[in-house]
Amino acid sequence: MRRRRPSLSVASTALANQAAVTKTGEPMASPGSSGRCSRTPGFPAGPLGGGGRAVPAVGLGTASLRSVGEESFRGALLAALEVGYRHIDTASVYGSERVVGEAVAGAARRGVIACREEVFVTTKVWCTQCHPDLVLPSLRESLQNLQMEYVDMYLVHWPMSVKPTKPHYPMKREDIMPMDLRGVWQAMEECHQLGLAKMIGVSNFTTKKLQELLAFAKIPPAVNQVELNPVWQQKKLMEFCKAKGIHVTAYFPLGGRHSTSTVNPVLDSDVLKEIAAAKGKSVAQISLRWIYEQGASMVTTSTKRERLKENIGIFDWQLSDEDRLKISQIPQHKTVSVLSILCPDGGRAMAVVVPEAVLRHGDARPMPAVGMGVAEYPSTPERTRDAVLAALEAGFRHFDTASLYRTEAPLGEAIAEATRRGLLASREEAFVTTKLWCTQCHPDLVLPSLRESLRNLQMEYVDLYLIHWPISVKPGPMVFPVKKEDVVPFDFGGVWRAMEECHRLGLAKAIGVSNFTTKHLDKLLAVATILPAVNQVEMNPVWQQRTVREYCAAKGIRVAAYSPLGGQNWIGEGNDVMESPVLADIARARGKSIAQVSLRWIHEQGVTPIPKSYNKERLKQNLEIFDWELTKEDRLKISQIPQKKIVTAARMFSPDGEFASMTCHVYKDE
């Protein structure tokens, strides 16, 4: 065997990498490896992460390799080491540690590697062992499986604790327990101090969870391993980790695959395909190169030698500025959530995965492609809270309320309770919209109204804050309906500047409007510094809003649809959506409900529907719209449905008069 090269500490590794970089500013080959076969550079991981070496830029993930059979799995590991991989990522729950250890030992015997120290090995503590007294025993068991004296990186797999038992997946919701993060991290620090883990870190931690951890950690996490790829770019988390000296490792760098879809959002991306064709590279290489240029390492999964080689062929070329700009504009959606590792009955994990849309204005997280409307008359706080919890269990992450609805408090309570139960990793997983009512639609009342909404919600911010209607009413208690004589001229400039102030203060991640026509939007855009991210309007197959949708698409404004299933019977008429014979025929032919056909049609228009249901079964059905499509014939039939608007200002605000008179009074300068 060759003489062993000493490992460098993280701090000295960082200095070495600073002194030995390429002209493009990229880190060179990891100084902790022999360099004989490794073809991947490395990244320093965390200035205080312990005495570990640099993290190789590309590693082999083993989460799914066990399913190919033990011999094929072992062959893939050996092939990866032979072509130059020096990072192998495993976990106690994967059941792959033993084979990983055997493969590394076998590679050393065959001379593929000089010794075990050439390979950077990561493993993780699973939720069932995420208890202060079980962390160290779990690592000792992993080391026994790996037949190693230490691992290079030991991670907390998820910020979640489950009743102690053998690692298993998926897990029952009722087994979730409060996590003693301080106690767990102290046990992780002990693993490092004993020399059993050269570095310690976390996985699937949000910025909020990292802040909580950093508040008491003596040894900060060296790494945060998260889902990251061009379709889920994690910009805020990346910025936070960079500022705190925490290295990011990407899993699902090539997109993964949903159980509910045959589409891989990364490998099937038209943007990435176009860039790959122009550069003579594969789509996978474009994705991996993009991740590398973000300063993140990654773990990929493949059993084929040619793909393994292809995945590390990303270091001798670069993306152009134009390529990076195109990738930055790819619509975002997340594959993995807490729901994906939980199930209500111990059977299959939750299969519903909701796509997300990037809002082009503001800095809100991507908006889930379907939301739950939280407005019911009459209702009680208890009924609303229970309905929201049921929606969270079903998979909803987008909730739409308003100051007028009187549901902000129970919505906030339900989200807080879901976080305590582990249904949500943190409040950040929920996308919350609220709205400014007409009586507060005055420049000096906008910010106080949002602050009151935040107190009701018990939140520090909302993801989206909307002007409910382009109408101002004399200040006073929120009432509905509003008297026509109380309507006053709407100050577009003053009200919108106050909305922009809400955004600048960080109280609203994005701001927008509701019930705005193209004419209203023209007036607003003429004075706006920050453009509205969303226009929420009545929309369904019976009121298709083509003109508004085309206008908003041209201006980069996302449309959200209320009354997607036809809405309330405001004047005693039937529901033209749910009673549509056209939709009924399509629903029968497709084996779907009329509601699902309507919601799917709205989704296919690039619009976010906000259905309202407090019924558990209907909540589930409202999410089951993403793994099938309408046919061209279906879409043609729907396009020919006679149009009829349900919600008008006349019905909302002026039961005893026509809106024309109000229009003249409020918008006389149009």
**Active-site residues: which are they?**
405
Distance CA 411, CA 396 (A): 13
Does 481 sit behind a cis peptide bond, omega within 30 degrees of 0 on the bond before it? yes
Q: Please provide the DSSP assignment of 349-418 as one string.
A: PP-----EE--SSS-PPPEESS-EE---SS--HHHHHHHHHHHHHHT--EEE--GGGT-HHHHHHHHHHH
Distance CA 276, CA 285 (A): 8
Look at the block and give the residue holding tokens 């520090």. 460
* The dihedral formed by the CA atoms of 352, 358, 362 and 363, expressed in degrees to the nearest 10: 60
Distance CA 566, CA 542 (A): 8
Handedness of CA 503, 508, 509, 515 (dihedral sign): negative
Distance CA 564, CA 542 (A): 9
Number of CB atoms found within 10 A of residue 25's CB: 6
Distance CA 309, CA 315 (A): 12
Number of CB atoms found within 10 A of residue 669's CB: 6
Handedness of CA 589, 592, 596, 602 (dihedral sign): negative
In degrees, to the nearest 5, what angle opens at C-alpha 606 toward C-alphas 406 and 593? 75
The answer to whether 401 and 432 have CB atoms below 8 angstroms apart is yes
Does 170 sit behind a cis peptide bond, omega within 30 degrees of 0 on the bond before it? yes
For 1, which DSSP code?
Answer: -
Look at the block and give the residue holding tokens 């705005």. 516
The answer to whether 472 and 490 have CB atoms below 8 angstroms apart is yes
Q: What three-state secondary structure class fits 243? A: helix
Phi, psi of 79 (to 5 degrees): -60, -40
In the structure encoding, which two tokens stand for residue 519, read together? 């004419």
Phi, psi of 177 (to 5 degrees): -125, 160
Q: What is the 3-state secondary structure (H, E, C) of 408-463?
A: HHHHHHHHHHHHHHCCCCCHHHCEEEEEECHHHCCCCCHHHHHHHHHHHHCCCCEE
Distance CA 637, CA 583 (A): 9
Q: What three-state secondary structure class fits 539? A: coil
